[in-house]
Structure 1
Amino acid sequence: MNDKWLYVTDVEKETGIPSATIRRYIRNHGHHLQLKKRGKIYMVASESLSVIKNIRDLYDQGKRLEDIEDALRSMNIPMTITVTHDEREMTVNASEVLVQLQKDMEEQKKFNQSLLETIQKQQEYINTKLEERDQKLLQSIREIQETKKEIAVSNSEKKGFFTKFFKGKKE
């Protein structure tokens, strides 16, 4: 970042552009400039002087505000945003932040995909184990039913034997 900050009057001396015009440039195109604001006083980074001169040249060519914004974007002049948080002021380069956000989003997508694959594998494992459990349960039920049938047949055979035995004695 920059160490040298200039007041609007200093920028006027450096560039020859009237201070009222510089303030208008700050209002309309300040997101392309590195600025500090203390109360009503603006301070401009010395690195932004060339951008101010470019803005002046574009207006001198008869360009409109929208055309100048397009031109500044096409010149790859970074947009900066000043954020005041907890009484600290921080200026960030929007393009750098967006690039970092893009990288973070790609990493998050990869992580999410990996997590989804892990969850799917776990679900397959759970489904397989449940299927195996169900098969064993059904097999046990069948065995129990078969055993009950065998017991019932055995009981009926015993009952039949005693019934025939005792019926035969009464007659």
Structure 2
Amino acid sequence: MKKEKINDLKGQTLPRVKEALRVWNNYHSRVRNDRNYSTVTICDEWYLFSNFYYWYIDNVVDGWHLDKDILGGNEYSPDNCIFVPREVNQLFRKVPTSLSTGVVVNHKGYQAQAKFGKRVYKFGTYPTIEEAHAAYVSGRKSYIYKLSQKYKAYPKLSAVLLQKSK
């Protein structure tokens, strides 16, 4: 049986309530309707809008996205969610590939590469998929480390990026 979400702040005039409501409705809709989210859950407390709203007000960063993956969760909850910039959010998407992640075939072998933002980074061509994948992992970790330094003003984000760069 599906849980019912409850907007207990309906009709109240609060700061940023409309944008918080949009985010709240979006993740509920994804979990309920998107088969890519079939294993994703929402914590009980976030079925009540006011609980999410007050967490949102304390944590939102303008222009950033709600993320449940970077902290290691498969659940929308205060413990697993963080607001991240788009460039960080895209790093932790699962992209289907016919080879190993970060590996494509070129005329010389297997090329390690990644797209970070709008730029494609190439980490070299290797004789095996495994070597190319290892180069991709190394290049990705280096990029994540740079992001951890870029976002030092956001200690929680910086710390998790630093940890993922190792």
- TM-score normalised to the size of structure 1? 0.27
Structure showing the higher strand proportion among its residues: 2
- Structure number with greater Rg is 1
- TM-score normalised to the size of structure 2? 0.27
